[in-house]
Amino acid sequence: MPDTTPDTNTDAGPLIPRNRAAHPQVHDVEYKTSVPRSPRWPLLSMESTPSEETGPRFGHDILGEYDNNLILNWTKGAAPAIGERIRVHGRVLDENARPVPHALVEVWQANAGGRYRHVKDGYFAPLDPNFGGCGRTLTDSEGYYEFLTIRPGAYPWPNRGNDWRPMHIHFSLFGHSFGQRLITQMYFEGDPLIDQCPIAATVKDRAQLDNLVAPLDLGQSRPLDYLAYKFDIVLRGRRQTMFENKLEGM
């Protein structure tokens, strides 16, 4: 169960400068829509201000009974979604490996057939009448979160002649500040489409790409019910300052 202890750690302060080398390449000719969308001028690096160093506060009163259960939340528990049941869990940490408590974690995904509940999704796979495809939760006092959902299907997209997106779940997170906002994707261990995907290929460092792949976690699976996948997430942390010859917090 989530820990509802109020968070007294505001974690305000200058942000650690962003490591651009750890981010995907913004202009990649194999990912066609990145060509017209990517910046044409060098990026400017600026000091963080209070608008980046502070952020929204979320409480458990914003959550509904089934918000982190995508199997049941669309029908409010009346009927389950169709597909392979899975549990996605992990921990949200800052760049200094400290837990980020009471952070809002939002997810959205395609259904088991690879189709989103979106007016512009014209893929031939049918919609599941019992699946909405989105959910949210808050991390507990130690930064842990979990979702119950179904494994999303792969789907084709109009990039090159026959490109398919790997199975994936989209994540959006707020940390302690707006500067810690992260939008990313989680892939599944063993999916052969990861190595074929032009979007995944914009992450040139294989170790960085592997950080987006959730390994199978049989220890947290439930027999005859669901498999589990572990996906830890690291947000940007504070710039550490010296205090009496020690790093803050040591």
For 179-211, give the DSSP string. Answer: GG-EEEEEEETT-GGGGG-TTGGG---HHHHHT
Range of lowest pLDDT (47-51, 71-75, 145-149): 47-51
Tell me how many helices (H) and strands (E) the chain has.
3, 13
Q: Single out the catalytic residue among 31, 145, 155, 229.
A: 155
Whether 168 is catalytic is yes
Note whether 165 and 193 are within 8 A (CB).
yes
Q: Given pLDDT bands bounded at 50, 70 and 90, which one contains residue 127? A: very high
Judge whether residue 89 has pLDDT over 50: yes
Decide the pairing of beta strands 227-230 and 85-93: parallel
Q: Single out the catalytic residue among 85, 170, 181, 239.
A: 170
Note whether 86 and 156 are within 8 A (CB).
no
Note whether 69 and 87 are within 8 A (CB).
no
Residue with tokens 């490996």: 97
Q: What is the pLDDT of residues 152-161, one digit of tens each?
A: 999 999 998 8
Range of lowest pLDDT (87-91, 121-125, 207-211, 233-237): 233-237
Q: Which domains does the chain have, with CATH numbers?
A: 56-236 (2.60.130.10)
Judge whether residue 194 has pLDDT over 80: yes
∠ CA 232-237-239, rounded to 5°: 155
Q: Single out the catalytic residue among 102, 165, 176, 238.
A: 165
The confidence score (pLDDT) of residue 11 equals: 52
Which is nearest to 90 in space by CA: 40, 132, 51, 137?
137
pTM for the whole structure: 0.84
Q: Single out the catalytic residue among 116, 145, 187, 229.
A: 116
C-beta neighbour count of 112 within 10 angstroms: 18
Q: What is the pLDDT of residues 213-237, one digit of tens each?
A: 999 999 999 999 999 999 999 887 5
Whether 226 is catalytic is no
Question: Mean pLDDT throughout 195-212?
Answer: 93
Question: Mean pLDDT throughout 54-83?
Answer: 91
Range of lowest pLDDT (188-197, 222-231, 237-246): 237-246
Q: What is the pLDDT of residues 9-62, one digit of tens each?
A: 445 566 676 676 777 888 899 999 999 989 888 878 777 787 777 777 777 778
Q: Single out the catalytic residue among 168, 176, 236, 238.
A: 168
236 vs 193, which has greater pLDDT? 193
Range of lowest pLDDT (75-84, 117-126, 233-242): 233-242
Question: What value does the mean pLDDT of the chain take?
Answer: 86
Whether 98 is catalytic is no
Whether 85 is catalytic is no
Whether 116 is catalytic is yes
Q: Given pLDDT bands bounded at 50, 70 and 90, which one contains residue 109? A: very high
